[in-house]
Structure 1
Amino acid sequence: MTITRYLLLLFSVFATAQSQIELISTDSTAIKADQIIAIDNFETIYYTSNSIIYKQPLEKPAINYSNVQLGIPTMVNTFNPLKVIVFYQDFNTVIILDNRFAEIFKIDFNSIQPYKNVTHVSSGYDNTIWIFNQDLQQLQLYDYKTEKIRATTIPVQSNVLDLKSDYNYCWMLTEKYLYQYTYFGSLISKTENKGYTDIAISDENLILKGETSLYYKLENSDNIIKLKTPKLLIKQFLLTNETLYIYDSIKLHKYQLKIK
């Protein structure tokens, strides 16, 4: 081993040992919801109750959306608040809403050729969305205006658990690995899944959920740090900048992340 490689390895071990993240409790709010979808920088809360999607701005009236024909949404993505993505897996259909929750586009994969059996959806750039094609076991960047695939990844060999994205990257969590792709579909990292089931992203930093704990993965780092969370049920978790939200089915708890 060269001296340079040894020093790099030593620095990596030292950084891992020294990295600690403190959770500072700042607030908790009682809320009744089936699922907390997102909380933006202005503390607007997106959530679902039964088959209805709500957008609740701070100190303003809420607006809502529901689709009687499609029923309960499987996934709602609000990364781009001007194009809210609502996925109904049972009907293989995506509805795109504007910021007032008016329908602006409908994607029925049952009627698009070639047929796509979609299990996971996330936001993309421009007029695209990331979709996981179950039949091909591939992650695809789909242009819903032209009905064409802009990018395709190499097929994976295990079940997909979660899918998250921003304009630059897409993270796909499978039973075996956590993959990170560029918006061209190129693989840039592959991390072994050590029991993680869900992910949350913000500014390319990740929170991963294990069986009973949460873990933090810094941007451009392979280090995954276990968070010392309070003893409460983690029904859901969200990351907005350096703020972690944990929903325990009764209250929404807010924590500030302090990296030491």
Structure 2
Amino acid sequence: MKILVFAFLLSTVSMHSQSIIEAELKSSKPLEVTTFVDDDGLETTYYIKQNEFSKQNAKQTLHYTNLQLGPITRVNTFNSLRLNLFYSNFNTVIILDNRLAEIFKIDFNTITPYRNPSHVATGYDTTLWIFNDNTQQLELYDYKTNAVRAASTPINNDVLDIVSNYNWCWLLTKDFLYQFNYVGSMVQKIKNEGFTKLDESNENLVLQKANELFYLKKGTSSFLKIKLPDLLIKQFLLTNETLYLYDLKTLNQFQLKTP
């Protein structure tokens, strides 16, 4: 009987440890910007301050500003040679090179057929993942040829966030988390348990619910809570096994002990 009780307690402890991911604080540095965008782990930090996009490292700081387009809605830095800035008020995306020089402008107001993207993320080659509010579809849009390479079936749900890499795109809606492949086919659909934001690295996800973060390992459907100190989470970023948390004053870097 004692053996059975011991086995049950051991299995309970094991199950609990698997539902929590430890995070070890590695470094903290002061950073006072409007929006923390990215840190490549090689001393390069991307951020927005007073609607100016900047790329900063130990040698120099580069800036890009386009006041005519209003506030920057989102910046995607997944491809450092083709950064994209989305200005939702003017329905426009600007593509920048690694020197923050403008190399392409996509004004959806002047393109036929008309598109009204609410969310934009990076695709492969000269493509963008856009959620088209007009059709309620996720599209893989080639901005060089003005062609849609792939499109999902209509998604009649409020879109909260989007992340992508060259092969996959994740769409977080009010009710579900969707994963799509590069031909627009849905490969996974998970019920949204109150998450509002997400980020991706190596097909692993971190999602935010209130002031807590959860980890979704590649190929699974179970969310693991990340054990963190009591910090205000304004922005977060996942790079490999490194988690960055920003509270508008300090950028904290944690090492995740993932399963």
Runs of 4 or more above 3 Å deviation:
13-18
Distance between the aligned counterparts of 1:93 and 1:125, measured in 2? 19
Give the match's secondary structure for 2:69. coil
CA contact (8 A) 1:64 1:101 kept: yes
Distance between the aligned counterparts of 1:147 and 1:16, measured in 2? 50
2:157 is equivalent to residue 158 of structure 1: yes
CA deviation string 1:219-247 (max 9, x = no partner): 11112101111111100000111000000
AA partner of residue 233 (structure 1): L
CA deviation string 1:43-71 (max 9, x = no partner): 311000011001012x2211010002112
Distance between the aligned counterparts of 1:71 and 1:65, measured in 2? 13
CA deviation string 1:16-48 (max 9, x = no partner): 654242110011111111111111131311000
Aligned to 1:40: 40
Distance between the aligned counterparts of 2:258 and 2:122, measured in 1? 29
Change (3 A) 1:158 1:18: same
Range that drifts further, 225-234 or 93-102: 225-234
Distance between the aligned counterparts of 1:138 and 1:89, measured in 2? 17
Q: What is the root-mean-square deviation in Å for CA atoms of aligned residues?
A: 1.5
- The sequence identity of aligned pairs, in percent, is 49
Give the match's secondary structure for 1:110. helix
Unpaired runs of 5+ residues, structure 1, are 1-12
Aligned residues: 247
2:111 is equivalent to residue 119 of structure 1: no
Distance between the aligned counterparts of 2:48 and 2:83, measured in 1? 13
Aligned to 1:8: none
CA contact (8 A) 2:70 2:90 kept: no
CA contact (8 A) 1:16 1:223 kept: no
AA partner of residue 38 (structure 1): D
Give the match's secondary structure for 2:67. coil
Distance between the aligned counterparts of 2:225 and 2:155, measured in 1? 27
Q: How does 1:10-89 map to 2 (within 5 A)?
A: 17-19=16-18, 20-57=20-57, 59-89=58-88
Unpaired runs of 5+ residues, structure 2, are 1-11
Change (3 A) 1:136 1:22: same
Distance between the aligned counterparts of 1:121 and 1:231, measured in 2? 32
Give the match's secondary structure for 1:69. helix
CA contact (8 A) 1:215 1:224 kept: yes
Aligned to 1:205: 204
CA shift for structure 1 position 15: 8.2
